[in-house]
């Protein structure tokens, strides 16, 4: 069976949970054989059977999942910050720590 490859730039796919949504949406399509997605490069490579699927249909599926090819984020207007006595302003300093599991699985291309 001959397969074809389609490559899509997906600017909205910048985190691992986005990669999972994109992969699940594309793997549900009949004819998709493999999906390689990178949140680092914001790119999706799809190997598919051209007798069952077209690149346009793949792009439509990406659109339906909210990650349309070349679709940019629409940034909301930022509101002026103000101290409203909420927990955000009453809280003390915040300390965060990177989960070691995130570091262990990091890489340019991840195949889930």
Element (H, E) at 8: strand 4-9
pTM: 0.65
- State what percent of residues in the chain have pLDDT above 90: 59
Q: For 106, list phi and psi in degrees, rounded to 5.
A: -75, 155
Say whether pLDDT at 35 is over 80. Answer: yes
Over the stretch 56-67, which tens digit does the pLDDT of each residue have?
Answer: 999 999 999 999
Sign of the alpha-carbon torsion through 4, 5, 8, 13: positive
The C-alpha atoms of residue 89 and residue 31 are separated, in whole angstroms, by 52
The C-alpha atoms of residue 12 and residue 9 are separated, in whole angstroms, by 9
- The CATH number that domain 1-72 falls under is 3.30.70.100
Say what the pLDDT of residue 73 is.
79
């Amino acid at each position: 069976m001959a397969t074809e490859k389609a490559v899509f730039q997906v600017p909205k796919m910048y985190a691992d949970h986005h990669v999972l949504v994109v992969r699940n949406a594309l793997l549900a399509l009949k004819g998709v054989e493999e999906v390689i997605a990178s949140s680092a490069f914001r790119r999706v490579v799809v190997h598919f059977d051209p007798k069952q699927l077209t690149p346009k249909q793949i792009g439509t599926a990406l659109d339906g999942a909210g990650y349309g090819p070349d679709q940019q984020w629409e940034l909301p207007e930022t509101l002026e910050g103000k101290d409203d006595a909420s927990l955000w302003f009453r809280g003390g300093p915040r300390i965060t720590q990177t989960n070691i599991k995130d570091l262990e699985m990091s890489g340019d291309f991840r195949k889930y």
